[in-house]
Chains A and B, each alone.
Chain A
Amino acid sequence: MDNKILSLNGIDVYYGEVQALFDISLDVYEGEIVSIIGSNGAGKTTTMRSIMGLRHPKKGTIVFNGEEIQKLPTHKVVDRGIVYVPEGRLVFPDLSVEVNLEMGAYSKSYSKAEMQQMMEEQYDLFPRLKERKNQLAGSLSGGEQQMLAIARGLMSDPKLIMFDEPSLGLAPVIVDDVFKVIVRINKEKNIPILLVEQNAYMALSISNRTYVLENGVITTSGKSSDLIESDEIRKAYLGG
């Protein structure tokens, strides 16, 4: 843990007059999986949207690879190499699986061969998508759409990838698959990951470090293996 990829330094974020995040600071280092856990409305999605420039903080800085990015528009943040796999997947329903993947590489100028190779890489990771490559994304099941959203995110060969509740609404077997893939992405492609989850047990089990967010404030942070043992965390997030 030496090379810092991303840091949030005391950011405040508002929706109109209402403050959603209070003085949030967090770091992600090379090679890490970092998770943010917290209940509904805690501000997890807001944190990710702020990193992506979909919402700009009123105070504080966001530094990515040494550059302040808190004022950049979203497409520039993507150009810098951050990919966000959003809550609710947001695949393009009227486009085919293949074109969805192609759009994931929008920020890159791949040659035809490179594009094909990137797609094959994703199909290796998610063979189900290959079988359905000409199907409209809107007609996929929830689990398949989640796979597509992840695969689409990987198409641009990101330097950091963020997942927002990848397990939401999925059957337990599929949840296991999705988390296995996230760990694989981290290990095999060596991409640092920031993960938001309500499934706190899963998040704590696969991550190196975890931040606990409550009502827009980070209340606890530390090594996931320590937090999973803590009585407070067990009570609040792991059902005893």
Chain B
Amino acid sequence: MSIFEGVNWLQLLVTAIAMGCIYSLIATEYTLIYNATGLVNFAHESFIVLGAYIFAGTFERALQFPHWLAIALTLVSMAAFGVLVASTILNPLRNLQFVTYAMFGTMMLSRIIIEICRLSWGSLPFTVKGFLRESINIGSTVLSESYIYIIVISIIVISLLQAFFKLTKAGKAMICVSQNKDAAALMGINVSASINLTVAISSIICGIIGILCAPLYNVSSNMVTSAATKGFCAGVIGGFGSYPGAIIGGILIGLIEQFGIIFIPSVWKDALSFGLMIIFLLIRPGGIIKRKKA
């Protein structure tokens, strides 16, 4: 009897790509802040959790708004939250002399946000009723609706972001800021404002991830701990600081963990992506897409 017997390839593939998209979005979200400020935002997981709580806890459960309105208001709230964090914390932190202190700063921020979530929405996990919980049956294949949405929305988000960088003045300014802050300022770019915008966009993406993950997990303060870590690995594997790298790394981890469970027990799948990251750090520290250094 072959180990491939009874494997539903289509289902595995869709799951792999959907989870890969989540990891890609996570890698993209913190790459934005890394490129703009030089800081690794260790609070990014808490941004996602906050987005999920604002959506599920406030606009869905408490206020019972229609989904589209709940989503729109969540993203607006996340953008405002991003500007607040950037102007009060990340912009001052990036000017600190020691990056290590700044990293500690983002870790503390993470604890604060998680505490705020616990105090505001309680510590009991809950679910969002009637949101992306249907399944589609194709023959013997059962595809969850949420996976399809994850894939479609990720493609839209990533395309919009690329278009923003290529086509808009503000997007190009963000690229200049990531390449050289003094030179960007000398072009007349308001560097702090550009960073505020970057963090707002990153926070919106965190909100989207939080909303997309709400149907996959119970909403709780550690709902995306494992996904956030794998998203981090995705960036390392793909090439730190590179947007194509973030996508390739994310999809690769999604594929490896799903198809890996054919060969090894599924409890090992988390260890697999972390193992892969360490292998990459050892043999190709620049990741798949090495960034050219100026």
Q: Which of B175, B186, B190, B191 contacts A95 (CB 8 A)?
A: B175
CA distance A164 to B276 in the complex (A): 47
Number of interchain pairs (Cβ within 8 Å)? 65
A75-B188 in contact given A92-B176, A93-B292 (Cβ < 8 Å): yes
A52-B186 in contact given A93-B294, A138-B294 (Cβ < 8 Å): yes
Kindly provide the distance from the CB of B91 to the nearest chain A CB, expressed in whole angstroms.
13
- Contact between A106 and B188, CB atoms less than 8 A apart: yes
Q: Who on chain B is nearest to A49 by CB?
A: B182
Q: Is A79 an interface residue (CB 8 A)?
A: yes
Chain A residues with Cβ below 8 Å from B169 are: 106
Q: Is B189 an interface residue (CB 8 A)?
A: yes
- Contact between A93 and B179, CB atoms less than 8 A apart: yes
Q: Who on chain A is nearest to B166 by CB?
A: A99
Kindly provide the distance from the CB of A150 to the nearest chain B CB, expressed in whole angstroms.
13
Chain B residues with Cβ below 8 Å from A90 are: 180, 182-183, 186
- Contact between B191 and A75, CB atoms less than 8 A apart: yes
Q: Who on chain B is nearest to A156 by CB?
A: B188
A-contacting residues, B73-124, CB 8 Å: none
Q: Who on chain B is nearest to A136 by CB?
A: B292
Q: Is B32 an interface residue (CB 8 A)?
A: no
- Contact between B179 and A92, CB atoms less than 8 A apart: yes
Kindly provide the distance from the CB of A53 to the nearest chain B CB, expressed in whole angstroms.
8
> Number of B interface residues, CB 8 Å?
18
Chain A residues with Cβ below 8 Å from B180 are: 90, 92
Q: Which of A54, A73, A104, A138 contacts B187 (CB 8 A)?
A: A104
Chain B residues with Cβ below 8 Å from A156 are: 188
- Contact between B187 and A103, CB atoms less than 8 A apart: yes
Q: Is B133 an interface residue (CB 8 A)?
A: no
Q: Is B72 an interface residue (CB 8 A)?
A: no
- Contact between B183 and A106, CB atoms less than 8 A apart: no
CA distance A93 to B292 in the complex (A): 9
CA distance A106 to B182 in the complex (A): 14
Q: Which of A54, A102, A106 contacts B189 (CB 8 A)?
A: A106
Q: Is A84 an interface residue (CB 8 A)?
A: yes
CA distance A92 to B189 in the complex (A): 13
Q: Is B21 an interface residue (CB 8 A)?
A: no
> Number of A interface residues, CB 8 Å?
25
A-contacting residues, B274-294, CB 8 Å: 292, 294
A138-B292 in contact given A103-B172, A107-B187 (Cβ < 8 Å): yes
Q: Is B163 an interface residue (CB 8 A)?
A: no
- Contact between B190 and A73, CB atoms less than 8 A apart: yes
Kindly provide the distance from the CB of A122 to the nearest chain B CB, expressed in whole angstroms.
15
Q: Is A78 an interface residue (CB 8 A)?
A: yes
CA distance A79 to B187 in the complex (A): 9
Q: Who on chain A is nearest to B185 by CB?
A: A74
A86-B188 in contact given A93-B294, A103-B172, A106-B173 (Cβ < 8 Å): no
Contact flags (1/0) for A176-206 with B, using CB distance below 8 Å?
0000000000000000000000000000000
- Contact between A106 and B294, CB atoms less than 8 A apart: no
Q: Who on chain B is nearest to A149 by CB?
A: B183
Chain A residues with Cβ below 8 Å from B176 are: 92, 95, 103
Q: Which of B173, B175, B186, B187 contacts A94 (CB 8 A)?
A: B175
Chain B residues with Cβ below 8 Å from A92 are: 175-176, 179-180, 183
A86-B292 in contact given A94-B175, A99-B172 (Cβ < 8 Å): no
Chain A residues with Cβ below 8 Å from B173 are: 103, 106
- Contact between B185 and A75, CB atoms less than 8 A apart: yes
Most B C-beta atoms less than 10 A away, residue of A52, A90, A95, A138: A90
Contact flags (1/0) for A135-152 with B, using CB distance below 8 Å?
000100000000000001
CA distance A150 to B190 in the complex (A): 21
- Contact between B185 and A94, CB atoms less than 8 A apart: no
CA distance A103 to B178 in the complex (A): 14
Kindly provide the distance from the CB of A188 to the nearest chain B CB, expressed in whole angstroms.
23
4 tightest Cβ-Cβ pairs between the two chains A and B? A107-B188, A78-B188, A74-B185, A90-B183
Selected A-B contacts with CB under 8 Å, 16 pairs:
A74-B186, A78-B186, A84-B186, A90-B180, A91-B183, A92-B176, A94-B292, A95-B175, A95-B176, A103-B187, A106-B188, A106-B189, A107-B187, A107-B188, A152-B187, A156-B188
